[in-house]
Amino acid sequence: MNILGPDSLVFGVDDVAACVQYFTDYGLTPIGVSDSGGRFEAVDGTSIVIARRDDPSLPAAMETGTMLRKTIYGVADRQTLDAIAAELGRDREVKRLPDGSIEASDDMGFVLGFQLSVRRKIDVPGEAVNSPGNKPGRGPNTLGANADAEFRPLTLSHVVYFVPDLAEASKFYTERLGFRCTDRFTNAGSFLRPAGTLDHHTLFLIQTPAFMKGVEHFTFHLCGPTAVLQCGYRFAAKGYQTFWGPGRHKFGSNWFWYFNSPVGCHVEYDADMDLHDDAWVAREVPMQVDESQIFLLQHREKWAPGGPPPSGQAS
């Protein structure tokens, strides 16, 4: 099935104003925002949608209270949409909504939407690097570091669920929707990608107790590692609390920086994810810190040689 990846995540939140400020500061473009919520778009049109927790238009909340109400996937064509409706309709309710999309739930109770993708073609240069022995990525007098550079989230990358039954949750996506497992942590987590993308994963499932079921984090791709570090540094300077990072993952190779958020989960900046085709053979390792990141940095305030040492370091 030609599923491209997540087009949008829909949240029912407690504090609309805090979410509006958060996603605007994160770098998404507010669309149709009011006191009751709105949409926040990346460059390609993928988005986060927020509404008040008691908004009657939202799907029902999960019993765990997670604020995520719906994950909407973009598909390439009407044929794929009809195929998904037929497949899922064999054993569960599939709603056809007025906008032409369909809605159903997965085997863990997460509400899913499927629509003809809203993704727009984007033309944003990736980060250019000069490496000895190779053709320069940047020509003479072209600067690689610019304190005033503007970076925007380009596209919704992936979402991560906490699930009480990893095997059953993974089976639904691989057997019913055609996702492939690219890598896995033994009995702990599965990285999954749909057929319509080569990204290492658009969905990561993590085994947890049932009371934790919900969304752990989501992220948007940026144009490169410098963008992750610069956006993260600016975000932290606005007072948002780092949860994890900056660093670089081992599975997927993507650079990351995670922050706490008012939507009840972590929100990440990421860049430079591995691409895999159907010839890739999934790796499997135990869930441990050495496998979760290849390195991890620690954010500190700026410092210059000759001045007092950074906080927490001996002089």
CATH number at residue 210: 3.10.180.10
For the record, the structure tokens of 15 come out as: 């504090």
pLDDT tens, residue by residue, 16-71: 999 999 999 999 999 999 999 999 999 999 999 999 999 999 999 999 999 999 99
pLDDT of residue 311: 63
- Report whether pLDDT(312) > 70: no
User: ∠ CA(184), CA(161), CA(86), 5° rounding?
Assistant: 95
Q: What is the DSSP letter of 173?
A: I
pLDDT of residue 224: 97
pLDDT of residue 273: 97
Domain count, the chain: 1
Q: How confident is the model at residue 307 (pLDDT cuts 50, 70, 90)?
A: confident
pLDDT of residue 313: 55
By percentage, how much of the chain surpasses pLDDT 90? 90
Do the domain assignments include residue 306?
Answer: no
pLDDT of residue 305: 83
pLDDT tens, residue by residue, 265-299: 999 999 999 999 999 999 999 988 778 898 889 88
For residues 174 and 181, give the distance between their C-alpha atoms in angstroms, rounded to a whole number: 8
pLDDT tens, residue by residue, 217-235: 999 999 999 999 999 999 9
User: ∠ CA(243), CA(248), CA(250), 5° rounding?
Assistant: 115
Question: Span 155-176, mean pLDDT?
Answer: 98
pLDDT of residue 119: 97
Place of tokens 């000759």: 306
- Report whether pLDDT(314) > 70: no
Do the domain assignments include residue 236?
Answer: yes
Do the domain assignments include residue 315?
Answer: no
Residues sharing a CB contact under 8 Å with residue 301, sequence separation 6 or more, in sequence order: 310, 311
For residues 315 and 306, give the distance between their C-alpha atoms in angstroms, rounded to a whole number: 11
For the record, the structure tokens of 211 come out as: 């009371």
pLDDT of residue 289: 76
Contact in structure between 200 and 193 (CB atoms under 8 Å):
yes
Question: Span 185-192, mean pLDDT?
Answer: 95
pLDDT of residue 296: 86
Average pLDDT, the chain: 95
216, amino acid identity: E
- Report whether pLDDT(315) > 50: no
User: Could you tell me the maximum CA-CA distance found in the chain, to the nearest angstrom?
Assistant: 69
Residue scoring higher pLDDT (105 or 298): 105
pLDDT of residue 295: 87
Whole domain around residue 57: which residue ranges?
A: 3-119+153-295
Do the domain assignments include residue 68?
Answer: yes
SS3 42: coil
Beta carbons within 10 angstroms of residue 249's beta carbon: 21
pLDDT of residue 178: 97
Do the domain assignments include residue 25?
Answer: yes
pLDDT tens, residue by residue, 136-153: 999 999 999 999 999 999
For CA atoms 166, 172, 173, 179, the dihedral sign is positive
Question: Span 126-144, mean pLDDT?
Answer: 93
